[in-house]
Amino acid sequence: MENRNEGTPMTQAVPSLRRAVRLAREEIAVAVEDLWFAYREGKWILQGVHLQVPAGGFWTIMGPSGAGKTTLMRIMAGLLPFPKGRVFLLGHPLQGELEPALRRLIGYIPQQLGLVRGLTALENVLLGSLARHPGWRTALGFFPRAEIERAMALLEMLDLADKAEEKVFRLSGGERQRVAIARALMQDPQLILADEFVSDLDLPRAAQVLAFVHRLARERGLTVILNLHEIQLVQEFADHVVILKEGQVVFESPALDLSWGLFREIMEGKE
């Protein structure tokens, strides 16, 4: 299988850069063009996905299990090389490993949050600053004082200041979500990608967390892309919704246009 990520020929790289400049001018935060992906040869998980998420947008991706939502999210986070297609993040063509400067701008929250359970809430939040401080000092556990103060301020903002020294495995589900959000914010991102990160919470709590993320995104002008299951949450918070099925975008519209009935029809394959 050809892998465009590993050593893109110059002939392809130049048009990618031109396209990236145009996308940046048009204020497109994430552009996915004809994206294909397979874990095993011939078994396509994503089949020609197209997306254009404007800067400052609050988008959700929905779809049944196995539709390719998590795979798409991991690719957009620069964590999974893809064989075919083009992805532009914040005006940069995605090729191989993300540069630290770009990595810092993308906050990724996986489904199970990816927190280190044996570290405290404060330590987990501090990890969000690693792209700024990749040296040996931080590897030995010494973070700059300014970063520690910043992490504490974030925990305070998220109402977790009193839990800063608690190990993460002692925190409740809702508290862990907030630690994960704080870690992402610690990166000072322009784009937040979150993969069903509220799926373990009941609906009222999930709504609370999303309301917070929504407010924060509006205040800071962040672009947010979420994988979500609950249509109520999508209708309440998202600007735009994309439905993925068997690796293809089968529906895309402003979130308010997606009714229960339409959603059911799409999921049952009557579109």
CB 69 within 8 A of CB 82: no
Rounded CA-CA distance 62/221 in Å is: 23
121: tokens are 């809430």
Min dist CB 74 to other proteins, Å, is 7
Measure the CA–CA gap between 102 and 88, rounded to whole angstroms.
11
Q: How far is the CB of 5 from other proteins (least distance, A)?
A: 15
Closest among 190, 205, 238 to 60, alpha carbons compared = 238
| Phi, psi dihedral angles at 196 (to 5 degrees) | 45, 40
Instruction: Report the nearest approach of other proteins to the CB of residue 110 (Å).
Output: 5
For the chain, how long is the longest CA-to-CA vector?
57
Q: Which residue's CB is nearer to other proteins, number 207 or number 227?
A: 227
Strand segments, DSSP code E, in 41-138 are 43-54, 58-62, 84-89, 92-93, 106-109
Residue whose CB is less far from other proteins, 128 or 247:
128
Q: Which residue has the tokens 């735009």?
A: 240
Please, what is the minimum distance in Å from the beta carbon of residue 230 to other proteins? 22
CB-nearer residue toward other proteins: 53 or 180: 180
Q: How far is the CB of 231 from other proteins (least distance, A)?
A: 26
With respect to other proteins, which residue has the nearer C-beta, 93 or 110?
Answer: 110
Residues contributing to the site for other proteins (CB under 8 A) = 74, 77-79, 100, 103-104, 106-119, 123, 127-128, 130-131, 134, 136, 138-141, 167, 169-170, 183, 187
Given the complex with other proteins, which of 3 and 232 has the nearer CB atom? Answer: 3
